[in-house]
């Protein structure tokens, strides 16, 4: 059974960097049939896919246009996890952040527990 365990701070100051980690058990971040995404949810924006990382003979990433200039998603093969970094945050980035797996045709079949991140001074 795949499990995704999220960790990271719940409070970030405006203009700073939001950093979260998603530890994977039951699968590999390097799996050639999987991709690993970050998704956030807020009352104003609903569910919003932020981006993904995946390995297909080399590492790749795709990012949502709304955050493309500020986001980085990186794999960490030594710890079998992946991370989210969102730079220059504002209060509009306040949301519950989720990590999720896609495997083959099963899009977002496993999710992390969610992390409420508040952007406030």
Partner 1 sequence: SYELSQPPSVSVSPGQTTSITCSGDKLGDRYTYWYQQRPGQSPILVIYQDTKRPSGIPERFSGSNSGNTATLTISGTQSVDEADYYCLAWDSSTALYVFGTGTKVTVL
Here's the x/- map for partner 1, 4-43, by CB under 8 A: it reads as ---------------------------------x------
DSSP per-residue letters across the chain: --EEEEE--SEE-TTS-EEEEEEEESS-TT-TTEEEEEEEEETTTEEEEEEEEEESSSEEEEE-TTTTTTEEEEEETTTTEEEEEE-S--GGG-EEEEEEEEETTEEEEEE---EEEEE--
Candidates 9, 77, 106, 118; binder of partner 1 (CB under 8 A) is 106
Candidates 67, 71, 112, 119; binder of partner 1 (CB under 8 A) is 112
Q: Interacting stretch for partner 1, rule CB under 8 A, among 11-19, 26-34, 77-85, 107-115?
A: 107-115
Q: Interacting stretch for partner 1, rule CB under 8 A, among 8-16, 57-65, 72-80, 84-92?
A: 57-65
Using rule CB under 8 A, residue 46 touches partner 1:
yes
Q: Distance (Å, rounded) from C-alpha 121 to C-alpha 119? A: 7
Using rule CB under 8 A, residue 1 touches partner 1:
no
Using rule CB under 8 A, residue 94 touches partner 1:
no
């Amino acid at each position: 059974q795949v499990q995704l365990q999220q960790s990271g701070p719940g409070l970030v100051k405006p203009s700073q960097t939001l950093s979260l980690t998603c530890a994977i058990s039951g699968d590999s971040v390097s799996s050639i049939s999987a991709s690993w995404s970050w998704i956030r949810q807020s009352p104003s924006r609903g569910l919003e896919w932020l981006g993904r990382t995946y390995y297909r003979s080399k590492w790749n990433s795709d990012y949502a246009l709304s955050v493309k200039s500020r986001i980085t998603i990186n794999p960490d093969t030594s710890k079998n996890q992946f991370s989210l970094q969102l730079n220059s945050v504002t209060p509009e980035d306040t949301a519950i952040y989720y990590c999720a797996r896609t495997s083959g045709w099963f899009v977002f079949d496993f999710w992390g527990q969610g992390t409420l991140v508040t952007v406030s001074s």
